Amino acid sequence: EIVMTQSPVTLSVSPGQRVTLSCRASQSVSSNLAWYQQKPGQAPRLLIYNAYTRATGIPARFSGSGSGTEFTLTINSLQSEDFAVYYCQQYSSWQTFGQGTKLEIK
Amino acid sequence: EVQLVQSGAEMRKPGESLKISCKGSGYSFTNFWIAWVRQVPGEDVECMGIIYPGDSDTRYSPSFQGQVTISADRSTSTAYLQWSSLKASDTAVYYCARPALYGTFYAAFDSWGQGTLVTVSS
pLDDT in tens, B50-86: 999 999 999 999 999 999 999 999 999 999 999 999 9
Pairing, β B109-112 against β B3-6: unpaired
Q: In Å, how far is A65's CA from the nearest CA of chain B?
A: 16
Q: Any chain A CB within 8 A of the CB of B44?
A: yes
Q: Binning pLDDT at 50, 70 and 90, where does residue B102 land?
A: confident
Chain A partners of B46 at a C-beta cutoff of 8 Å? 96-97
What chain A residue is nearest to B45 in terms of C-alpha separation? A97
Taking alpha carbons only, the member of B93, B67, B100, B96 closest to residue B80 is B96
DSSP code, position A40:
T
What chain A residue is nearest to B63 in terms of C-alpha separation? A1
Per-window interface: B 59-88 vs A, CB < 8 A: 61-62
A97 and B109 within 8 Å at the Cβ level: the answer is no
For the residues A71-96, what does the mean pLDDT come to?
Answer: 96
Q: Any chain B CB within 8 A of the CB of A99?
A: yes
Taking alpha carbons only, the member of B57, B58, B52 closest to residue B24 is B52
pLDDT in tens, A2-40: 999 999 999 999 999 999 999 999 999 999 999 999 999
